[in-house]
Amino acid sequence: MLLDAFDILLTTGFWVAAIRIASPLIFATMGELICERAGVLNLGIEGIMTVGAFTGWFTVYAGGDLWTGVMVAALCGAMFGLLHGFLTVPLGLSQHVTGIGITLLATSLTYFTYRVALSESTSPPKIEPFQPYPVPGLSEIPFLGETLFMQTPLTYLAFITVGLVAWVLYRTPLGLAVRAAGENPVAVEAQGISVTAIRVGAVMVGSALMAIGGAFLTMSAFNSFFFEMINGRGWICIALVVFGSWRPGKALLGAILFAAFDAYQVRLQQVTGGVIPYQIFLMLPYILSIVALIVVARRASYPKALMVPYQKGER
Amino acid sequence: MRLEPKPAPSMAVTLLYPAMAILATFVIAAILVMIAGAAPLQVFGLVIKGAVGSQFALVETLTRATPLIFTGLAIAVAFRAKLWNIGAEAQLYAGAVMTIILGTGAIAAPAGILIPIIIVGAMTAGALLLLGPAILKTRFGVDEVVTTLLLNFIFLLFVSLLLEGPLKDPMGLGWPQSERVVAEARLPRIIQGKRLHYGFILAIFSAIAVWLIMAKSVLGYEMRAVGHNPEAARFAGIPVNRVLVKTALLSGGLAALAGVSEVAGLKGNLTLDISPGYGYTGIVVAMLALLNPLGVVISAIFVAGIFVGADAMSRSAGVPSYISDVMVATALLSMVTAIMLTRFRIRWR
């Protein structure tokens, strides 16, 4: 049995699943990272992912094509980001309370809309989701090709997003302004740049990415929308941002590690064959997130102005 | 735009903005009702009728308000000290589990002894569940928002495990449910034949007790000081971490009472769906009450009325009952905005 448990790690199927499970987490983690780097905690993440999952899927169900669905999801996510940004940045409301409020609002609005739009159907209708797209050439590489380059286009987009976020944050003046807004907003204002604009903009872009993460679930991983399908993934992403020390590369690594662990527990469940209650396995990802937080907490370097509202002209 | 502090607002202003927040909530709900193809005034009429329109409706609203008073108090206490306890849902279930462990025959005692034992046991369980995140916060600086949120998922899975294992009802036909508590462990009904039970009375007394603690005791003063400005509190010699831990114990214990009340008062046994998110709704209840323990009673009845009324309306008017969740979330966001507007003036420049 021990050998079986180890053998899992050597199968390509396992790693293909791990990358697939990681994809929505990568989008949402990058989204949260952008928000927090600009100084705004976004606890709306869980609800915004729900919105993305529904709107993306529903657009396709209503006749739109898949990429239109992704765009609609991102746009709807950005709208909730605008609301969170407006309430927390210029109005300076508690980021904790507002974020929880956004999650409650986004989730309940989604469920309400679902019931209004699909009052007749008892089981949620299915759509034709994104199909795996083998990258020419690269997918021929043994093992790596199969795990990394025979995924769906949204997974490739997730990895591209990480590179893009890292590049913008560390290599462009805009990224410098975003990071400074989260570290030293007075310095940003001194450059004649509006902290409010940078922060609200960052929350909108971040929320759009969270929504795409949600949309991945209904448009790539599965082909339908279920209630409570986000199931705490948003909260896990918040832990992943801390675990990744607010750096895109490290957060990506964290997401993949986490997803590998998640994929592993499902397979381990089958290997152990019901000796251990299945709930224990399902708990592990959440427990792992808490453990990860404890491990990094001591050396975590929060963006210094995270959760600190900024008022123009205040020192 | 920028915010400027206002001089101490008049009573009228203090009430005007929250009233506008409630109005805004109903306007947004009206728009959604129209989208759903119904007439808003008729729907609101049905909601009010379903919430308070008959003795049955009123009793149902107070019954639904009972767990919300407990979770609302739990949140009000914690948020006052800026301890972000988002885990009241798990603490509620901890109280419910303890009620089953102690109340299904393990202890043979008359009701006058058994019920207090259950209450103390459940409060301890809820308090211990929040103690972990509180210590992680004070000792290691781990954000309690994420830990308490994740604990909700962990604990619900744990309850599921218990209900399919050690706490499973052997006569339950395979359903994940516990045995029923013994008659001595049941909180009696207030009116014979109606669902409202003594959990509601316990909730009222808890609210008064919490109000006394917050307004009159040293601990209450320290909690407010820590919530207002932890650095200043520390400078003034208040043991901030110890106050936070005490706050956590009180908050977790209060949330657990919601579990006692639902199991021993209403349902009689434990299933995985005894709480449709009372722990999260408690946040809204507490914020609508401006974190005032006595206000929690009123806001819990208001929120429960929306839920009960919307359920009744949904059956007759065909508007999805999720409208009540939307209204509650909207009320939360508009209320925090309203509170801000009573304290600050917006200058556009």
Closest-CA distance, B306 to chain A, in angstroms, reads 14
Q: What is the arithmetic mean of pLDDT over A230-237?
A: 94
Cα atoms in the 13 Å half-sphere on the side-chain side of B42: 10
Of B2, B146, B284, the CB nearest to A235: B146
For residue A239, what are the domain limits?
A: 2-115+139-297
Residue owning tokens 């199991």: B263
Closest-CA distance, B191 to chain A, in angstroms, reads 34
CB proximity B157 to A under 8 Å = yes
Residue to mutate among B140, B149, B284, B343, with most A CBs inside 10 A, is: B149
Q: What percent of chain A shows pLDDT beyond 70?
A: 97
Q: Using an 8 Å CB-CB cutoff, list chain B residues near A100.
A: 86, 280, 283, 332
CB proximity B286 to A under 8 Å = no
The count of structural domains within chain A is 1
- Residue A315 CB burial class (10 angstroms; 0-12, 13-18, ≥19): exposed
Burial profile B38-76: b = 16 or more Cβ within 10 angstroms, e = fewer: bebeebbebbbebbbeeeebbbbbbbbbbbbbbbbbbbb
Task: For residues B101 and B181, give the distance between their C-alpha atoms in angstroms, rounded to a whole number.
Answer: 9
Q: Is residue A106 in a domain?
A: yes
CB proximity A242 to B under 8 Å = yes
The predicted pLDDT at position B27 comes to 94
Is the CB of A87 less than 8 angstroms away from the CB of B336? Answer: yes
Q: Is residue A131 in a domain?
A: no
The distance of Cα B182 from the centroid of its chain, to the nearest Å, equals 26
Is the CB of B326 less than 8 angstroms away from the CB of A116? Answer: no
The predicted pLDDT at position A307 comes to 85
Task: For residues B332 and B22, give the distance between their C-alpha atoms in angstroms, rounded to a whole number.
Answer: 9
DSSP per position, B243-255: HHHHHHHHHHHHH
Q: Considering only alpha carbons, which residue of chain A is nearest residue B157? A: A279
pLDDT at B7 > cutoff 80:
no
Task: For residues A83 and A86, give the distance between their C-alpha atoms in angstroms, rounded to a whole number.
Answer: 5
CB proximity B28 to A under 8 Å = no
CB proximity B160 to A under 8 Å = yes
Sign of CA dihedral A306, B143, A280, B253: negative
- Confidence tier at A121 by pLDDT (50, 70, 90): low
The predicted pLDDT at position B15 comes to 81
The predicted pLDDT at position B232 comes to 92
Q: What percent of chain B shows pLDDT beyond 70?
A: 99
Are the C-beta atoms of A48 and A210 separated by less than 8 Å?
yes
pLDDT (tens digit per residue) in B169-222: 888 777 889 999 999 999 999 988 889 999 999 999 999 999 999 999 999 999
Q: What secondary structure letter does DSSP report for A135? A: P
Residue owning tokens 């053998």: A7
Q: Is residue A145 in a domain?
A: yes
- Confidence tier at B332 by pLDDT (50, 70, 90): very high
Q: What secondary structure letter does DSSP report for A149? A: S
Angle (CA) B331 B334 B340, round 5°: 135
Q: What is the arithmetic mean of pLDDT over A148-159?
A: 92
* CA nearest to B31, candidates A112, A167, A129, A220: A112
The predicted pLDDT at position A315 comes to 47
Please give the mean pLDDT across all residues of chain B.
Answer: 93
CB proximity B147 to A under 8 Å = yes
pLDDT (tens digit per residue) in A180-199: 999 999 999 999 999 999 99
pLDDT (tens digit per residue) in B225-252: 999 998 899 999 999 999 999 999 999 9
Is the CB of B146 less than 8 angstroms away from the CB of A293? Answer: yes
Is the CB of B161 less than 8 angstroms away from the CB of A287? Answer: no
**B344 - beta bridge partners?**
B5
The predicted pLDDT at position B349 comes to 57
Task: For residues B245 and B253, give the distance between their C-alpha atoms in angstroms, rounded to a whole number.
Answer: 12
Q: Considering only alpha carbons, which residue of chain A is nearest residue B349? A: A312
pLDDT (tens digit per residue) in A31-58: 999 999 999 999 999 999 999 999 999 9
Q: Is residue A133 in a domain?
A: no
pLDDT at A227 > cutoff 60:
yes
Closest-CA distance, A36 to chain B, in angstroms, reads 14
How high is the ipTM of this complex? 0.92
Q: Is residue A125 in a domain?
A: no
- Confidence tier at B257 by pLDDT (50, 70, 90): very high
Q: What CATH number does residue A215 fall under?
A: 1.10.3470
> How many residues comprise chain B?
349
- Which residues are CB-contacts of A49 (< 8 A; sequence separation ≥ 6)? A24, A28, A210, A211, A213, A214, A217, A230, A233, A234
Residue to mutate among A32, A283, A284, A308, with most B CBs inside 10 A, is: A283
Structure tokens at A186: 């007075």
